[in-house]
Amino acid sequence: MSSSTRNIIAWILQGLLALAFIASGFKKLSDLPATVGMFGSMGLPGALAYVVGAAELLGGIGLLVPRFTRLAAIGLIIIMVGAVIMHATKIPGGLAGGMPALVLLALLALVLWLRRPGASVA
């Protein structure tokens, strides 16, 4: 795969992932009582709702800033691993209901791989 093709694919994925995470983070933060309640119903501290919402919002923005792309992807991967674990253990529907989280996790890992040092210049 050529460097320019890798760069185009990475930018498309980063844009789509940024939209998804900015929207998700904004939704969590704009309806905090419901988000805190949802986290509480899974046995998680309510303060984690603030952290996850802010991290998704900032991570989505970070995916669009070349200097922060890899750091944002790593942070969002950590959040998505947590989401997959919660779907597998606490959320009704199991991993089948957590397919969006699995897909986002895989796409973030792909962005991280495409943006590895020495792969291409953004």
d(CA 53, CA 68): 18
* pLDDT beyond 80 at 94: no
pLDDT tens-digit profile of 27-53? Answer: 999 999 999 999 999 999 999 999 999
Tokens of 74: 């790593």
Q: What global pTM score does this model have?
A: 0.90
Q: Which DSSP string do the residues of 85-121 spell out, in sequence order?
A: HHHHHTSTTHHHHTHHHHHHHHHHHHHHHHTSTTT--
Q: 120 falls in which pLDDT band (50, 70, 90)? A: low
Q: Is 64 exposed, middle or buried (0-12, 13-18, 19+ CB in 10 A)?
A: middle
| pLDDT in the model for residue 98 | 84
Query: Do the beta carbons of residue 43 and residue 90 sit within 8 Å?
Result: yes
